[in-house]
């Protein structure tokens, strides 16, 4: 039987029915083309003939990205993003054919929440990600810096004085700005400089591993609010294994783009879904991830709320703490 690409483009999803249609088509394709995912589905006795609803689609444990090549294409494997990992821990690898879908996803996803990228100046404080190769976050932020069309957008490492001066200049001009940073670097920055921000969004991406004592997100945000003199600290939720991101505007509740859905599974029974408001493992459908696996069982704990929103409450005890937005609440 010949297999075609899923019908429609993920960024055109605009209703529950269009999401369902594309999700089922993507599942059918990835079952046929992705040998790792198909083997997992066969192991639990679930194939396309058994699936007629989104809730019936199996979610691949995210740990498979550490030991397997999770791909839904036949091209030679050359390019991949890799996760950060502590010494002795195997990083995840997300192979891709090209980055067109990723670029469309993070561009539309951001603008769906915040408006046009070109309206902002982007200042990136991401030293831990700049220190290694293969970061999907660095690629995304670099593209956003370019799309901002601003000569003052850029990356900063430990040059806090230059960054502070730039923020003050932009504030004085009334320029809409996003300061996006890894948590430990934002904390260190506020130890050297204090602000009273009016036009700058401070957005943390998580990431405290091995750098500072772990703290709850509430504790982190309280310190950052005081240091930056702002009412809210925004957050970005993403991971190496996905092609889409969710954003929180400061209340700890993340909003997904229309082509991304989050559900919750029972901790002791990974094939049992839980209703809204219950705590469990987060399962993610990311329809932009069509060349890898769009259906992933993460190692994050959380709750799902109405209107395609969710919150992250921590990690499974056996999980390494890594990557984007892995603070414990």
What is the DSSP code (8-state) at residue 137?
H
CA 16 to chain centre: 22
Overall domain count for the chain:
1
Lowest mean pLDDT among 4-13, 43-52, 232-241, 313-322: 313-322
Query: Is a pLDDT exceeding 60 seen at residue 162?
Result: yes
Quick one: pLDDT at residue 75? Answer: 84
Q: CA geometry: angle at 45 spanning 39 and 49, to 5°?
A: 100
Quick one: pLDDT at residue 317? Answer: 63
| Confidence band of 98 (pLDDT split at 50, 70, 90) | very high
Q: Over the stretch 251-274, which tens digit does the pLDDT of each residue have?
A: 889 999 999 999 999 987 888 888
Q: CA geometry: angle at 123 spanning 119 and 126, to 5°?
A: 140
Task: Report the percent of the chain where pLDDT is more than 70.
Answer: 90
Does the residue 240 lie in any domain?
yes
| 69 close to 255: Cβ distance less than 8 angstroms | no
CA 80 to chain centre: 16
Does the residue 7 lie in any domain?
no
Query: Is a pLDDT exceeding 60 seen at residue 157?
Result: yes
**CA 286, CA 62: separation in Å to the nearest integer?**
13
Quick one: pLDDT at residue 209? Answer: 55
| Confidence band of 92 (pLDDT split at 50, 70, 90) | very high
Does the residue 29 lie in any domain?
no
Does the residue 14 lie in any domain?
no
Q: Which residues pair with 246 in a beta bridge?
A: 237
Q: Enumerate residues 6+ apart whose C-beta is below 8 A from 252.
A: 217, 218, 235, 311, 312, 329
Q: What DSSP string describes 287-314?
A: TT-TTS-SEEEEEEEEEEETTTEEEEEE
Does the residue 103 lie in any domain?
yes
Query: Is a pLDDT exceeding 80 seen at residue 297?
Result: yes
Q: Over the stretch 25-67, which tens digit does the pLDDT of each residue have?
A: 999 999 999 999 999 999 999 999 999 999 999 999 999 999 9
Domain encompassing residue 223: 61-329
Q: Over the stretch 218-261, which tens digit does the pLDDT of each residue have?
A: 899 999 999 999 999 999 999 999 999 999 999 889 999 999 99
Does the residue 49 lie in any domain?
no
Q: Over the stretch 103-155, which tens digit does the pLDDT of each residue have?
A: 999 999 999 999 999 999 999 999 877 777 899 999 999 999 999 999 999 99
Query: What CATH number is attached to the domain comprising 225?
Result: 3.40.50.12780
Tokens for 79, please give them: 């390019």
- Pick the residue with more confidence: 57 or 217? 57
pTM across the whole model: 0.90
Phi, psi for residue 301 in degrees, rounded to 5: -100, 140
Query: Is a pLDDT exceeding 70 seen at residue 213?
Result: no
Quick one: pLDDT at residue 89? Answer: 78
Does the residue 27 lie in any domain?
no
Does the residue 221 lie in any domain?
yes
């Amino acid at each position: 039987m010949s297999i075609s690409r899923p019908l429609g483009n993920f960024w055109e999803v605009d209703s529950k029915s269009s999401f369902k249609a594309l999700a089922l088509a993507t599942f059918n394709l990835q079952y046929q083309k992705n040998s790792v995912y198909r083997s997992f589905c066969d192991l639990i006795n679930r194939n396309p003939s058994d699936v007629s609803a989104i809730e019936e689609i199996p979610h691949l444990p995210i740990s498979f990205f550490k030991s397997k090549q999770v791909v839904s294409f036949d091209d030679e494997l050359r390019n991949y993003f890799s996760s950060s990992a502590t010494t002795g821990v195997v990083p995840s690898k997300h192979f891709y054919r090209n980055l067109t879908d990723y670029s469309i996803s993070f561009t539309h996803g951001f603008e769906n929440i915040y408006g046009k990228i070109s309206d902002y100046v982007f200042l990136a404080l991401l030293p831990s990600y700049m220190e290694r190769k293969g970061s999907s976050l660095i690629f995304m932020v670099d593209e956003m810096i370019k799309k901002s069309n601003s000569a003052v957008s850029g990356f900063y490492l430990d040059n806090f004085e230059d960054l502070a001066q730039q923020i003050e200049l932009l504030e004085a001009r009334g320029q809409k700005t996003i300061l996006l940073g890894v948590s430990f670097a934002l904390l260190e920055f506020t130890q050297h400089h204090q602000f009273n921000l009016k036009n700058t969004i401070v957005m943390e991406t998580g990431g405290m591993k091995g750098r500072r004592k772990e703290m709850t997100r509430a504790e982190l945000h309280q310190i950052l609010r005081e240091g930056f003199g702002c009412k809210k600290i925004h957050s970005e939720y993403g991971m190496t294994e996905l092609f889409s991101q969710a954003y929180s505007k400061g209340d700890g509740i993340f909003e997904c783009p229309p082509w991304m859905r989050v559900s919750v599974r029972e901790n002791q029974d990974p094939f049992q879904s839980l209703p809204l408001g219950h705590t469990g493992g987060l399962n993610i459908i990311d329809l932009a991830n069509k060349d890898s696996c769009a259906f992933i069982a993460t190692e994050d704990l959380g709750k799902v709320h109405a209107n395609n929103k969710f919150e992250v409450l921590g990690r499974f005890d056996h999980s390494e703490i890594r990557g984007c937005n892995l603070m414990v609440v």
